[in-house]
Amino acid sequence: MGTSKSYKATVQGQPQWGDLSRSVTRSCDGGDVSSDNLSRILGNYVNVVGGASSSGRGNSKIAGRSGIKTAKKLGGFIARFVDSSGDLSQTLFQTGLTDLTGKSVEDVVNHLIEFCSGPASTIDDRAAKEASRKLLEEIASNANTIEELQENLQNTVDHETLEDLMIKYFGYYVLEHLSVMFYEHLVTKKGKSECSNLFRQIEAFIIDRLDEMNKTNPLNNINWGSDDADRLIKNIQQDVLTVFENHEG
């Protein structure tokens, strides 16, 4: 949280921005946030970015495009790792990391973040990059060596879980967009403790709701450079946003 600079973008000119800003600010009081208010925050967010069908398919100027681009790179990396029978060194070689001598787990994670997301030149880029960081650091948690990182990946990812990981990625992407929009402003206005408390609850709410989401876009046996992969990733992002779309105001 709080990795972004102050949010300065055309989104603040959107007619729905006031509803989102009020719903977030009112909930940042250090206490427990009701499910209804958390639903309202996420519903207002989806409304501001143009709706699930537009943003989900990359047709919004505010959010969605960078999420799709990064998710395809991330999904492709994971699929190649699975296809290599869990050989991390071989998979990293294909991403341009050809020598692991002296490399730490942090080095590898940072390389993968850059490989999947590239330079973060826009608000949307930063949200996508931080979401990839959050997912990769979660997978790498407690790994102290490259071998342990490989073991973590082997225990976490396969073709059947790839859709679940992409759903989680897009959940983090939504969370990071909200962080970009509000975190630093709220820290100044309400305090860091209150702000961190709110974002912990938003994250838990997102994860809880997405755990219940129907899985309808299996990602096994696809060519990650194909139009089919592009369509499925857009389907997943749209489905994630649809989970939160209907509660606003």
The pLDDT of residue 8 is 47
What dihedral do alpha carbons 133, 186, 46, 170 form, nearest 10°?
10
pLDDT for residue 52:
96
Place of tokens 């699930």: 52
In a domain, 17, yes or no: no
Task: Give the tens place of pLDDT for each residue, 56-107.
Answer: 999 998 999 999 999 999 999 999 999 999 999 999 999 999 999 999 999 9
pLDDT at position 246 is 76
pLDDT number for residue 1: 43
- pLDDT score at 54: 95
**Pick from 9, 116, 112: nearest CA to 63:** 9
Can you give the pLDDT at residue 2?
Answer: 41
Of 151, 73, 68, give the one whose Cα is nearest residue 112.
73
- Intra-chain end-to-end CA distance of the chain, in Å: 25
pLDDT at residue 25 in the model = 93
What is the pTM assigned to this prediction? 0.92
What's the burial of 144, exposed, middle or buried (CB within 10 Å: 0-12/13-18/19+)? exposed
Is 157 a member of any domain?
Answer: yes
26 part of a folded domain? no
pLDDT at 217: 87
112: containing domain: 59-180+220-244
The segments of the chain whose pLDDT lies below 50 read: 1-9
Residue 3's pLDDT is: 41
**Any domain includes 215:** no
Give the C-alpha separation, 48 to 110, whole Å: 31
Q: Flag whether 51 is in a domain.
A: no
Query: What pLDDT is recorded for position 4?
Result: 40
Give the per-residue pLDDT at 88.
97
Q: Per the domain annotation, does 175 fall within a domain?
A: yes
Q: Is there a domain that residue 185 lies in?
A: no
User: What is the structure's pLDDT at 7?
Assistant: 41
Residue 5 located in a structural domain: no
Number of domains within the chain: 1
Is-contact 190 137, C-beta < 8 A? no
Nearest to 75 by CA among 61, 93, 91: 91
